[in-house]
């Protein structure tokens, strides 16, 4: 742990007071002096000002500036002692210089919020490591406590860890990014929370490649989905939404007044699942199997272009040969492709509109949905887990 502490200190301390013994012992590099001087101390800095490290863990600012009025007319006063709990050893005494602003008359003390928050027992490094653990996947509170103990030689209780992780949002989590593209994909998956079936709703920004918001609802109703999409995109552009082929989505998107793109991949998958059974059947002749594959390829080619005129010509050509098409594919053409043709080809009007919802599906896989479906007993617990997953995903995959 000491190495980690010293590494963070290197970028925060602007200068250090040398002792005569530093030259006699050969300790003339910054890291070695810090190691000898601070023993188990961690990062200290003020957000706006560099620090000066004196002997015996005394800290003060360089280039004094009043945080209240911005004046440089500041004088130094006494030191204030504070004890920091670094590991399982004795608390470390740190001395922070106090100051008086001659302009506004207010006093302030050297700020070490980046090391430890006011009135807190554990330094910020514990919480930072805790978030790193969550990036690798789900773990119980007690297992997380043990991990902290192994890595940092000390750990808060599992209840303290739970308090650190708990977020204020009860029903919905939102990304901290402020600007979105307006081109979204929407999907949902079921979860079991304390034995009850619930649904995880997700809205994903296709262009920026980040999730916007997630919510846990007991029932997948049009009112709940509509409210979720509208609340997620308040004061944000809402141009298009790509979804799978659940029938209730059509009325929802029409009510919201947004361009609706049905996922082309899901269309191919629906047809392919039915086709697979036919191709595996011994009752179907080889000639019929070849015909099924060829016409299925023709159907795919309708949507394998970004030119609407080309797509219409391919559809017309297929319809002219309709009587020769196998009945299985005829039903899909009549019941699915022709009625929903406009929604299936919305992406041809604007190449920014995603034609599949694969991005949000990939996001679900990366957040390990299969492992978390039965491990949580409260909505707050699952939303806390998803909050940190969203934060980590955004940091890694966001597109500017």
Report yes or no on 70 lying in a domain: yes
114 in a structural domain: no
Are residues 13 and 91 located together in one domain of the fold?
yes
Asked whether residue 394 is domain-assigned, the answer is no
Q: Quick one: 155 and 290 in the same domain? A: no
Residues 105 and 146 in one domain: no
Q: What is the pLDDT along the chain (400 residues), one digit of tens a residue?
A: 444 444 555 555 556 666 555 555 555 566 666 666 555 434 333 434 566 767 777 878 877 888 888 888 999 898 888 877 655 566 778 888 899 999 999 998 887 776 677 767 777 777 777 777 776 666 777 877 787 777 777 777 777 777 777 776 667 899 988 899 999 999 998 888 888 888 999 999 999 999 999 999 999 899 999 999 999 999 999 999 999 999 999 999 999 999 999 999 999 999 999 998 888 888 889 999 999 999 999 999 999 999 999 999 999 999 998 999 999 999 999 999 999 999 999 999 998 999 999 999 889 887 665 666 566 777 887 888 888 888 888 988 898 7
Domain contains 392 = no
Residues 216 and 364 in one domain: yes
Residue 324 shares a structural domain with residue 237: no
Q: Would residue 29 count as lying in a domain?
A: yes
| 256 & 269 share domain | no
The answer on 336 and 272 residing in a single domain is yes
Q: Is residue 118 a part of any domain in this protein?
A: no
In a domain, 369, yes or no: yes
DSSP conformation letters of 5-43: HHHHHHTTEEEE---HHHHHTT--SHHHHHHHHHSS---
Give me the number of domains the chain comprises.
4
Residue 222 shares a structural domain with residue 198 = yes
Query: Do residues 371 and 258 share a domain?
Result: yes
Which CATH number covers residue 208?
3.30.420.10
**Alpha-carbon gap, residue 141 to 356, rounded angstroms:** 37
Containing domain of residue 333, as a range? 264-348
- Note whether 250 and 274 are same-domain residues: no
* Dist. CA 265–CA 393, nearest whole Å: 24
Number of helices and strands (H, E) in the chain?
A: 16, 12
The per-residue DSSP string of 39-80 comes to SS------SSS-EEEETTTEEEESS---TTT--S-EEEEEEE
Q: Taken in order 282, 288, 294, 295, is the CA torsion positive or negative?
A: negative
pTM above 0.75, yes or no: no
State whether 289 and 322 are in the same domain: yes
Least Cα distance to 386 among 167, 128, 225, 231 occurs for: 167
In a domain, 197, yes or no: yes
In a shared domain, residues 274 and 258: no
């Amino acid at each position: 742990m000491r190495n980690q502490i010293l590494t963070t200190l290197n970028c925060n301390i602007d200068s250090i007071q040398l002792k005569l013994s530093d030259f006699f012992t050969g300790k003339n590099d910054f890291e070695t002096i810090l190691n000898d001087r601070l023993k188990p101390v961690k990062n200290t800095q003020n957000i706006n000002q560099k620090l000066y490290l004196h002997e015996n863990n005394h800290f003060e600012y360089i280039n004094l500036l009043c945080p209240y009025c911005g004046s440089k007319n500041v004088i130094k006063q006494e030191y204030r002692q504070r004890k920091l709990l670094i590991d399982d050893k004795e608390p470390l005494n740190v001395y922070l210089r106090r100051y008086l602003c001659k302009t506004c008359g207010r006093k302030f003390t050297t700020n070490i919020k980046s090391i430890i928050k006011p009135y807190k027992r554990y330094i910020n490094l514990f919480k930072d490591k805790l978030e790193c653990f969550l990036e690798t996947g789900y773990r119980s509170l007690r297992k997380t406590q043990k991990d902290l103990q192994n890595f940092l030689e000390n750990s808060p209780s599992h209840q303290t860890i739970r308090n650190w992780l708990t977020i204020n949002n009860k029903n919905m989590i939102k990304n901290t990014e402020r600007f979105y593209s307006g081109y979204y994909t929407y999907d949902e998956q079921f979860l079991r929370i304390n034995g009850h079936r619930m649904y995880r709703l997700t809205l994903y920004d296709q262009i920026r490649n980040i999730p916007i918001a997630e919510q846990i609802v007991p029932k997948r109703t049009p009112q709940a989905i509509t409210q979720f999409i509208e609340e997620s995109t308040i004061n944000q552009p809402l141009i298009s939404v790509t979804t799978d082929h659940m029938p209730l989505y059509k009325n929802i998107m029409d009510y919201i007044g947004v361009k609706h793109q049905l996922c082309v991949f899901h269309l191919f998958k629906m047809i392919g699942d039915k086709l697979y059974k036919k191709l595996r059947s011994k009752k179907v002749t080889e000639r019929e199997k070849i015909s099924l594959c060829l016409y299925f390829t023709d159907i795919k080619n309708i949507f394998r272009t970004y030119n609407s005129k080309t797509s219409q010509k391919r559809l017309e050509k297929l319809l002219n040969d309709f009587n020769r098409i196998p009945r299985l594919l005829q039903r899909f053409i009549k019941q699915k492709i022709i009625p929903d043709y406009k929604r299936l080809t919305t992406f041809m009007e604007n190449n920014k509109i995603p034609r599949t919802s694969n991005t949000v599906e990939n996001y679900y896989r990366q957040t390990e949905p299969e492992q978390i479906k039965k491990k949580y007993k409260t909505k707050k617990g699952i939303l806390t887990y998803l909050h940190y997953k969203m934060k980590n995903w955004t940091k890694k995959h966001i597109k500017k």
